[in-house]
Structure 1
């Protein structure tokens, strides 16, 4: 609540400062006094925070109303941010003819988090809340490479999930590189990611999978023959459905089988089809098929070990960018500037990798592979 109160104060003060003094009421002018800050932020009890937020929202609504008569002032960034803050933090009560502050749990993660940077959002990951922007990087991971290089990055609002970011970048990666395999953790899985990857002929390897584990006693969806993730052609016993529809809007597949055939099937107790009066039905989300396929790939122990090894390596790169290059706390605000600065830092990191190569600091695994293949010693050519 204290953070929300501080944000409310910052947004209001910024908006008041942006306006000419002559249009301000005495209450709004009072906001600029040091005593107001002391009373609002430092002398308020925890139980009074909601009341203080309500007061600030009321003053903000008053200021927005005053500026409406002047488009030039109303369109100022500070006023726009104030207007956004009120819309996200309060609801308009028609009976009271006033804005009423929302409860904390009603505030969306995409709501304004900083008066000075409207792009930053809130995200809770690993039980820890974070405010800011998020960057995802893609790095080469071939064992034969003497050093690894970052080939792509993306800066987004903190509320954007890892899976959404990967889904957006797969077409870009395909265009920029000859990528055939991507190694990620389970948080990057989604039906959209799998669909994009398969369309680009890219295999995504997951170190783990999120969500509920499938019942090992049940027949997996991968046992069915499903064409293009849309049409069920046969069940595990080879029986074809007499009808199958795919709803492009809901992404749901409905396959209807002969009830008599299913009744005599020795595997009916473990089959995911549902018995109805006149038939049996397999109803499945398209994303569930992608998930089943991804889980099947993950269950291969050797493949999982390789995926974990390759995925873990990028944590060192993340650490280097945050600590050595200062990417963990940028000195700029806004998504555009953050994207540009992050790009510069990644270029710096890649140059360091190239310098490592020319200094002979080459990955041991690459040297071992070269020696085993009788390729000689990896050295830079000057």
Structure 2
């Protein structure tokens, strides 16, 4: 049997909730909210999404039974979810100019600096520790020996429905592009959670869906990955194709990918709510190795040793060198024809990987065909 948290005074819980939000701000989070653990409304939506196969090769999304939509099954005893928001948009990255420059490599803004997982998990663990210390006197004085506090921090590494939970916690609403939106902060932020058995007072969402009639994010998607508002077919999403997809990138998506070699931000970049986004104050999210402005050919010429060195502590490393070359080959195939581009591709023609060879050959064929289609261009967003 799972041990339970002892009954705590209402005033103590109210004060503790206020302290949690203050401690969160002290740890660098922009916002903390508290939600109940009821996701019964989301469960049928998740099942319908999985039944359509929109998860693609991400079989792990459906491998945990109902744990994703039932927090108590993931961490027995969970009554509340403490949700945290941390801005990540680095300053001085001219994302639209880079997107429109066919010789440059576009890396999703979240991946330009250090990997966020360890940073946020460490801070959430510190927050959980402070909560434990505050509750400890009540637990130690409890008459029942099996009383205990159940807590666990999560950062995009477990079956957690972070966006619906964050919306319940008052951090925003889920927009038509399926990302969380905040009327004062846009969407350029990471989310993290602490599951807890404490019956803390919950926050109510103060922000209803404020997307209105806007469909900018749906229309700008280079690969038409949104079958309808609020629904994403991951199999068509450039973020999925360049990161989660382990095989060849389907030919139909290669030209629309343009120069996006790791992830895609188009649906965020064009969102009107991102005019209110703030640049991150975190040094860890500052671009490294000029990844916010590097030429495709320069990155393509990295050796595997250089790739491993330059992506140490980065989210990019998880795709490995082979897929890094695959993505860059597509970008080079879409780049303006030049001696530099063609030479870079030719130097990898014999690379010992059928996956890389296939994409290099496709890219060279693009340059051999002067009538090839021009890639779709992103519309100018209204953001910082």
What TM-score do you get using the length of structure 1 for normalisation?
0.27
User: Which has more helix, going by share of residues?
Assistant: 1
User: Which has more strand, going by share of residues?
Assistant: 1
What TM-score do you get using the length of structure 2 for normalisation?
0.27
